[in-house]
Structure formats: structure tokens, C-alpha cells
Amino acid sequence: MLTTIIYRSHIDDGVPVSTLESMVAAANVKNSHADVTGILLFNGTHFFQLLEGPEESVFAIYRRICEDTRHYNLVELLCDYAPSRRFGSTGMELFDLREHDRDKVLQEVLNKSTSKYQLAYDDRALRFFRTFVEATERQNYFEIPPGDSWDFVPDEDVLSSESIPPIAEVACSFAFQPVIDPLAREVVSLEALLRTPDGNSPETYFNALSGDDIYAADLSSKKVAFAMAAALNLRKQMLSVNLLPMTLVNVPGAVNFLLQEIKQNGLVPEQILVEFTESEVISRLEEFTGAVRQLKAAGISVAIDDFGAGFAGLLLLAQFQPDRVKINRDLIRDVHKSGPRQAIIQAIIQCCTSLEISVTAVGVEKPEEWMWLESAGITTFQGYLFAAPMHNGIPSVAWPEKK
Ligand code: C2E
Ligand code: MN
Ligand code: MN
């Protein structure tokens, strides 16, 4: 199938521009064997390349391009399928935008096309060309340094690696994971993640239950979460707990139960954040938002978890505005390399900024993901890069330090 990839990248400072022509010529030999054609634009700093050809060949060449050290900060802008090539005749032609008149340059690029008929239509690939040539997107080119320009140094401080013996006679336990502001070197909150007594996942815990038992167990597990938080001496920390949205609707008196357990353990509602995933369809939205109102009226903060993953996210945001949204790993993964992920996350940030909702990125594993997200304006993070959840305890945080 005819596949198109468009990416942009930043030329490595050590590469003399004069060698570009010969680089392209060498690449062309490989490309023509693989039946891959396209065009490479260069503006003095950035490359913008369109590759077209059979799917396997395009992907193989793109993988090689990604490993090429003569450029960095590659961002894949488009990966799509088309009935015919847009730039089919010229192999891989290098087009230096600086050698052309600003007003005519887009037309001159398009003149290289072998498929004027198609470009006459409203083609996404063409619109990417226009945006690059006219440089209207430059504010979104976050130039992040290499991942190894930071060390992640484990914290030896106070709360670190404290562990408590399991609380007796309960059917569940919790792991704790810090949510941090890395540049401020601040633990923003701790999230209590449900575990079976021997440390297995929430999924394992819930799979052993059925029907309404799930909701009852979800709610009563919070008694253990608050008791553990008290035992871990978290009296002055923000503490996050997760709840299925329907737990609040299906279990009578759920909010009062939470308030009572918070008080019982010497905590205050103002330090508690309740996170709702939209993974489950909220079938009774009116009653759910009613319960959220009760939480807020008692001083408890509310977050939407896994934001953007389920179908209810944007609708939920129209119905009520949480204090925080958490973007999970499905969107965070390799965000520094993906134009679509960057666009979605920037839209979430913009929307939340307009509504004064805080944004946390969850599941951050790579320094490059973190750096891109910081550049985009996110300041609070949760992920293995900084600290993995610790069963029955609080892990130490690996704080980034510039080398
Ligand atoms: P969540 O609330 O989005 O929690 C974050 C999950 O991502 C946790 O998985 C955590 O271990 C994992 N995680 C954190 N950092 C990273 C990372 O850098 N890379 C990767 N790959 N994963 C990371 P966990 O503990 O298995 O929990 C899964 C989900 O189970 C939670 O996702 C939450 O939706 C749900 N859950 C947890 N505790 C409870 C609870 O008490 N009640 C309910 N209803 N659901 C819960
Ligand atoms: Mn959560
Ligand atoms: Mn999640």
C-alpha cells in the first residue's frame, strides 16, 4: 500500500550545510532500490521531509532516518495512505528554502510535484508543506536537549523509602507513588494505588469480585488507604485516591463514608484528591455530578484520570470542572517524537489553562518525554522516571540534575 510519512527535524550543529547535497545523493541510491520517493526541504535549521512508497520500505527507511545522528528532535507529523505519489519522479530532491523568493517558494515546491491534480484538492500533506514553508508553527518546535543531559539522583530525604507493616485483617493494601514538580524539587502529592494484600494489581483485585461487590470494595478500600496514609505520617501531604465514578452513585452514603474515614485517621478533606477514570461509562451522569458536588462542598478536590483516553472526557469537562486532569501514558508515550500526540496534549493544556485546571502527566518514563512536556507547560509529573509505586511504603524520588 502506498504510504506517506512526513517528519521534521533539527540539523546537528556539527553538520556542514555544504555536505547536504552529497548526503542526499547517497540516500537516493538506497531510496530508489526501495522504490521510495519524496522531497526534502531545508530552511537552514530544520529539515522537513516527505517519503512515499510501499509501506514496508517507507517504514524501514524512516527507522534508519530516526537513527541518523546528523539531525535530532525528529517529530513525525503525518503517517497516511494515498492512491498516488505526490512527488514521484525526482527521487529524493533537496530543496533549500533559503535560495528561493519567500513569496514564490511554496509554489516552487509544488511545481516539483508529479500529481498536480491531487494537490489541487484539500490535501493534509500539502497543508503541512504550507505550514512549514510559511513557518507559522515555529513556536511549537520545542528544541529539547538529549536525554542524557540530565542525571536522576535519588533523594535521601525525609519521607523516602519509609515502609509500614501491613494493616491487619484487611482484604487489600496500597502502593504509594509520588506526584512531583521536578524543577521545584517538590512532592505535590502521593497517589494511593490499590493492591491485593500480597501486592498484585488493581485489576487482579477487582477481577475476584463481581456485580455491586466491586463498588462496595472500591469504597471500603479507601478506609485502608487513609489508615496507611496516617501510619506513613502523611498528615501534611496531599493524598490522591482513585474511585470508579459509579462507586459514588451505587453505594449509598459513599461521600459520608469517605468523610468519616478521613476524619477518623486524623486527615482533613482539603488534603484529599479523588481521581475518577473515565474507563467506565458513567451511566447516571446526573447522580455522579451530584456526588461530585457533595465532595467539593466538603472540601475534597477532584481529578479526571486518564484524560483523553475514554470517550467521556470532553463531555465530562462540560458537565463539571475538576481541579486537576491527569493525562496517562497512552498519550504521553514518545510524545517528543509524535506530532499528533503533541497536538492533542497542547490542546488539553490550552483547554485546562482556559479553565484554570491543573494538568499532571502520568507514566513518564523517558527524560525526553518529561522535557517536551515541561516545554509545553506541564509542571507536575508521575512516572517511573522519577519514582515507581512502592507497596506498603513511599519510594524515594529521583530528582533531575543538569549534568
Ligand atoms: P492510574 O490511576 O492512572 O494510576 C497510574 C498507573 O500507572 C498505576 O498502575 C501506576 O503503577 C502506573 N504507572 C505509574 N508510572 C508509570 C510509568 O512510568 N510507566 C508505566 N508503564 N506505568 C506507570 P496501577 O497501580 O496498576 O493502577 C492501574 C489503575 O488502576 C490506576 O490507574 C487506577 O485507574 C486503577 N486503580 C488504582 N487504585 C484504585 C482504587 O483504589 N480504586 C479504583 N477504582 N481504581 C484504582
Ligand atoms: Mn489515578
Ligand atoms: Mn491511568
Q: What is the pLDDT of residue 131?
A: 92
Summary mean pLDDT of the chain:
90
Among 362, 390, 391, 392, say which to mutate for ligand 1: greatest number of ligand atoms within 8 Å of CB.
362
Ligand closest to 304 (CA) is: 2
Ligand closest to 202 (CA) is: 1
CB atoms within 10 A of CB 25: 12
97-139 residue pLDDT tens? 999 988 888 888 888 888 766 566 678 998 899 899 988 888 8
Ligand 1, atom 11, lies closest to the CA of 389
Q: What is the mean pLDDT of residues 136-150?
A: 88
Q: Give which of 340, 400, 385 is closest to 124, Cα–Cα.
A: 340
CATH superfamily of 147-402: EAL domain (3.20.20.450)
In angstroms, rounded to a whole number, what is the distance separating the alpha carbons of residues 65 and 84? 23
Region(s) of the chain under CATH 3.20.20.450: 147-402
Q: Which three cell numbers stand for residue 61?
A: 527507511
Cα Rg of the chain, angstroms: 26
Q: Which three cell numbers stand for residue 178?
A: 509520588
Q: What is the mean pLDDT of residues 282-301?
A: 91
171-185 residue pLDDT tens? 899 999 999 999 999
| Helix locations, 16-123, DSSP H | 20-33, 55-67, 105-111, 116-119
Q: Which atom of ligand 1 sits closest to the CA of residue 241?
A: 41
Return the axis-axis angle of helices 254-264 and 213-231, rounded to nearest 10°.
20
In angstroms, rounded to a whole number, what is the distance separating the alpha carbons of residues 99 and 122? 27
Mode of pairing for the β-strands spanning 46-54 and 37-42: antiparallel
Ligand 1, atom 46, lies closest to the CA of 242
Is the separation of the CB atoms in 133 and 112 below 8 Å?
no
Distance (angstroms) between ligand 2 centre and the Cα of 275 equals: 6
Q: What is the pLDDT of residue 159?
A: 56
CB atoms within 10 A of CB 160: 16
318-376 residue pLDDT tens? 888 999 999 999 999 999 999 999 999 999 999 999 999 999 999 999 999 999 999 99
Residue 358 pairs with which residues in a beta bridge?
Answer: 324
Is the separation of the CB atoms in 129 and 106 below 8 Å?
yes
Q: Beta strands of 13-160 (E only): which ranges?
A: 37-42, 46-54, 71-81, 92-96, 150-154
Q: Which atom of ligand 1 sits closest to the CA of residue 389?
A: 11
Three-state secondary structure call for residue 363: coil
Distance (angstroms) between ligand 2 centre and the Cα of 16 equals: 48
Q: Which three cell numbers stand for residue 81?
A: 495512505
19-74 residue pLDDT tens? 888 888 888 888 888 999 999 999 999 999 999 999 999 999 999 999 999 999 99
Region(s) of the chain under CATH 3.30.70.100: 2-140
2-140: which CATH architecture?
2-Layer Sandwich (3.30)
In angstroms, rounded to a whole number, what is the distance separating the alpha carbons of residues 135 and 137? 6
Question: Residue 213: which H helix or E strand, with range?
Answer: helix 213-231
In angstroms, rounded to a whole number, what is the distance separating the alpha carbons of residues 299 and 308? 26
In angstroms, rounded to a whole number, what is the distance separating the alpha carbons of residues 240 and 274? 6
In angstroms, rounded to a whole number, what is the distance separating the alpha carbons of residues 218 and 214? 6
| C-alpha of 66 from chain center | 21
In angstroms, rounded to a whole number, what is the distance separating the alpha carbons of residues 241 and 225? 8
CB atoms within 10 A of CB 188: 20
Mode of pairing for the β-strands spanning 324-327 and 301-305: parallel
